[in-house]
Copies of this chain bind each other. A is one copy, B any other.
Amino acid sequence: MNLRHLTFRLLEVYVTVVKTGSVTAAAQRLHLTQPTVSQQLKRLSESVGEPLLHHDRGGIELTEAGRELYRAALDVTGRFEDFGDYLAELGGGRRGRFSIALVNTAQYVLPRLLGPFSQAYPEVDLTVEIGNRQQVLERFERQLDDIYVFSHPPSLEHAAAARFLRNPLVMVAPESHPLAARASVHVNDILTERFLLREPGSATRMLFESWLQGQGVQLSGVLQMASNEAIRVAVASGMGLSVISRHVLPVAHPGLVVLPMQGFPIQSHWHFIVRRDRRLPHAALGFLEFVARSLESCLPPEYVCNEVEQLNKRLAELAH
Query: CA of A76 to CA of B69 in the docked complex: distance in angstroms?
Result: 13
Contact residues, A63-120 vs B (CB, 8 A): 63-65, 68-69, 72, 75-76, 79-80, 82-84, 86-87, 90-91, 95-97
The one of B1, B65, B90 in contact with A64, judged by C-beta atoms closer than 8 angstroms, is B90
- Whether A4 pairs with B3 at a CB distance below 8 angstroms is no
Contact residues, A11-59 vs B (CB, 8 A): 12, 48-51
Measured between beta carbons, the chain B residues less than 8 angstroms from A87 are 1, 48-50, 65, 68
Tell me whether chain A's interface is mostly helix, strand or loop, or mixed. Answer: helix
Residue of B nearest to A83 (CB): B72
A8 interfacial contact with B, CB 8 Å:
yes
Count chain A residues whose beta carbon lies closer than 8 angstroms to a beta carbon of B. 36
A212 interfacial contact with B, CB 8 Å:
no
List 19 contacting pairs A-B, 8 Å CB cutoff, sorted by A. Answer: A1-B83, A3-B7, A5-B7, A6-B7, A6-B8, A48-B87, A49-B87, A50-B91, A63-B281, A64-B90, A64-B95, A64-B96, A64-B97, A65-B87, A65-B90, A68-B87, A72-B79, A75-B79, A79-B79
Q: Give chain A's interface residues, CB within 8 Å of chain B.
A: 1, 3-9, 12, 48-51, 63-65, 68-69, 72, 75-76, 79-80, 82-84, 86-87, 90-91, 95-97, 279, 281, 283
